[in-house]
Amino acid sequence: MNTLGVEDYGLYNVVGGFVTFFSFLNGAMSTATQRFIAFELARGDTYRQIMTFSTSAIIHFVIALLIVIVAETLGLWFVCNKLVIPEERFVAAIWVYQFSILTMFVSIVSIPYNAVIVAHERMSAFAYISILDVVLKLMIVYLLTIVTFDRLIFYAALLLGISILDRLIYGIYCKRHFKEARVKLIFDKKIFKEMTNIAGWSLFGNIAGVCYTQGLNVLLNMFFGPVVNAARAIAVTIQGVVTGFVSNFQMALNPQITKSYASGDLKRMHSLIFASSKYSFFLLLLIVLPIMIETQTILTVWLKIVPAYTVWFIRIILCILLIDTLSNPLMISSQAVGRVKVYQSVVGGLLMLILPIAYIALKLGGNPETVFIVQLIISVVALVCRVVIVGQMVSFSFLQYAYKVMLPTISVFLLASCMSIGIRYTVTNQSLLGAGIVIILTIVLTTVSILFAGLSTAERDLIYSKISTLKHRIHD
């Protein structure tokens, strides 16, 4: 942001992000692909694994072509006529849009390979490739400081280059390690029908997801201009980084949830759903709460320029992230079962309400934070609906989930938040040192709250035994 400037940074995020409006069809097929590959691995049917991968690869290639066509027609018209773009940056915005379309194309055709890695639970591959990805993006930022031509266009072009490199690495890795990860020009109609049956209803939920993410971004652009988009982009960047700490943990459990259902072990499936929800929330809270308490200081140290509204954007979005963390295992469970009609109709319908309600709120004079407050409220309602629907699918009650997940997570959140806020107002030193003390104490208090208000006696004993074992190994 410092290199591009606030306006160009916001412009990149609204124009480049607008391309994801057209990803709803791809998102639906992506969830179906991951589910079917993991399901066939659990069943051990090699032929079905090969046919599933090849069919999904062909489908994703066709989807990518369709999205390019729509983006280059309807999407291009919208960008040129409806988005608020400074006249002097219009040409750069169009270049960014074109590079973003190509980046999306590459990402879409990569999805079957990513799904194979997740299904085989080779998480180390994601770790190494992610490290490479981050290093390359850091190099891009450095290059931006020394180039003499348009930095915004250069930035978008280099991100496309990284996307292509990631695609090549994933493809090579999969072909070397998984026998089914080779595209054959074979199209299995039966598998296609099964996949599209799930994807068809998932499509509704994915449209809702795109609407309330990029739709809100476009709304903010139309009502407040690209500077507010920059504030949202910073908040979403923090959200993405924080999510990464938890998503890898959940990524390791997601295939197990699907495989447990495929093998008929519902008891283990329940245990995985409850554990994934609760532990993911606790892990995320350890990171999120210190950021929420000291948002202003963190932004001041991190950024030279802090756009207006950024602080509250971050705090509200992180609260939404905590809710979504609980929702993810439930979503994976509904996909594992394969009966997604009711789930997607109800949950997708609720999420679709975010954009029109936010629009009405802004028309009535609401401030930029209003759109995220609307999203937070509906996310809570959607979580309750998810629990009820998935519970009926896989035979656990709402009371079970409330007792095993909701009660401990809410208790820990309230206890840790109250103590941390108290510490924040007790420490009067407003310097970086004072913020550091508050952050450390917040982490300590959150950890204590998790141990004594969030975990059962058996879970605490297990942690103590692991710590004891680790100590013995260190001493030995």
Q: Is the pLDDT of residue 142 over 80?
A: yes
pLDDT of residue 178: 83
- Poorest-pLDDT segment among 240-254, 310-324, 391-405: 240-254
pLDDT of residue 331: 84
Residue with tokens 């009820």: 388
d(CA 175, CA 71): 31
- pLDDT class of 31 with cuts at 50, 70, 90: low
Q: Where does 42-142 show beta strands of DSSP type E?
A: none
pLDDT of residue 464: 78
pTM of the predicted protein model: 0.70
d(CA 258, CA 334): 9
The answer to whether 323 and 246 have CB atoms below 8 angstroms apart is no
Range 213-243 burial, b when 16+ CB lie within 10 A, else e: bbbbbbbbbebbbbbbbbbbbbbbebbeebb
pLDDT of residue 30: 62
Joined tokens for residue 363: 């028309």
Q: Is the pLDDT of residue 227 over 60?
A: yes
pLDDT of residue 226: 77
Mean pLDDT score, 457-465? 81
Q: Is the pLDDT of residue 147 over 60?
A: yes
- pLDDT class of 447 with cuts at 50, 70, 90: very high
Rg of the Cα atoms in the chain: 23
| Percent of the chain clearing pLDDT 70 (strictly above) | 90
